[in-house]
Structure 1
Amino acid sequence: MLELVIQWLPLGISLFTLIILCVLLGRERKARQALEAKFSAMELVAKNARQQHESLLKQFNELRVGTMGMSQKMAEIAENQEMLAERQSEISMHDPDGRLYSRASKMVELGADVNELMEECDLPKAEAELLMRLQQMTHDRRR
């Protein structure tokens, strides 16, 4: 019987080794499939990230162009405002009577009477009274 076991022992070891090899190969195949699935998922995530990056980059460029355009418009508005301020200053320098009447009108709004207008603004009585009436008419229309 020992001879029979000794004869079949190499065959048994070979079969045992073959079974272990098949089990190991099955596990390796499953591990490879799992890795391939993970790799596919990572490729999909990377593709989506690239698409989102491209979309965000496009939006950023559109915002940058819009901001540059807005900056140019703001510069133009600032230039126009500066020019208007200079012109207004020139006009007020050339029209001292206009400043005087503006001051008198403001005084009337604040409650000054005819005598105060005559003294503070060097206005004749008729002009001071006219300003008072105009201010009163303007005030009545607003009500």
Structure 2
Amino acid sequence: MDLLMDDKALNLGSVALLVSMVVLLILVLRLREVMLKLAVIEQSNTAIESLKSGFKQHNELLNELKMVTQGMSQKLTLLDAKPPPEDMVTQSEVNALKQQLQQIEIKVQGLESQDPTSRLYTKASKLVASGASVEEIMQECDLPRAEAELVMSLHAKS
């Protein structure tokens, strides 16, 4: 009888050990999955920071170009208002400056509309502001889930 009880105890102990090992294996697999997701999020954060930096530089250049354009426009307006002295600018030089100003304005407009990633994140931000879900942002802007979630969290912070 004692031998039978020892076998039952041994069997129960074996079953408990086996269940513990299965639970441990499941936990290890879940941990691995979480770590992979964290790695994707870190990569997305790095990419977003890089895009933010590029976007900031792009905006600084645009602002600088706008200021230069405004200054040139003001100078041209002043030149048009009064006739230049003979040793100053001729009318053909004024016309050349106007053409250069128009070309610069066209380039500024081109730069503003050229950056597809900033348009993409602007669209994503507008979607977040309108109450769109993560799935809608992913679909509309063709963003991975991690980036869509980051855009939502960034928008929530501001």
Length-normalised TM-score, structure 1: 0.55
Are 1:6 and 2:41 matched, yes or no? Answer: no
Cα shift at 1:18: 0.7
Q: CA RMSD of the aligned region, Å?
A: 1.2
Q: Where does 1:20-39 land on structure 2 (aligned, <5 Å)?
A: 20-39=19-38
Are 1:83 and 2:82 matched, yes or no? Answer: yes
Distance 1:66 1:23 in 2: 64
Spell out, residue by residue over 1:78-108, the C-alpha distance to the aligned partner (whole angstroms, 9 max, x if none). Answer: 1111223xxxxxxxxxxxxxxxxxxxxxxxx
Matched to 1:64, the amino acid is N
Q: Where does 1:38-57 land on structure 2 (aligned, <5 Å)?
A: 38-57=37-56
Cα shift at 1:22: 0.4
Aligned match of 1:67: 66
Q: How many residues align?
A: 83
Larger relative contact order (CA 8 Å, sep ≥ 6)? 2
Matched to 1:51, the amino acid is S
Cα shift at 1:58: 0.5
Matched to 2:52, the amino acid is H
Distance 2:12 2:82 in 1: 102
Spell out, residue by residue over 1:48-74, the C-alpha distance to the aligned partner (whole angstroms, 9 max, x if none). Answer: 111111011101101110110110110
Q: Percent identity?
A: 11
Q: Which runs of 4+ in 1 moved over 4 A?
A: none
Length-normalised TM-score, structure 2: 0.50
Matched to 2:79, the amino acid is N
Which protein is richer in helix relative to its size? 1
Matched to 1:60, the amino acid is N
Which secondary structure state, in structure 2, belongs to the residue aligned with residue 55 of structure 1? helix
Distance 2:41 2:27 in 1: 21
Distance 2:9 2:3 in 1: 11
- Give unmatched runs, 5+ long, in structure 1: 85-143
Aligned match of 2:117: none
Distance 1:8 1:65 in 2: 85
Q: Which has the larger radius of gyration?
A: 1
Which secondary structure state, in structure 1, belongs to the residue aligned with residue 50 of structure 2? helix
Aligned match of 2:14: 15
Cα shift at 1:4: 2.6
- Give unmatched runs, 5+ long, in structure 2: 84-158
Matched to 2:49, the amino acid is R
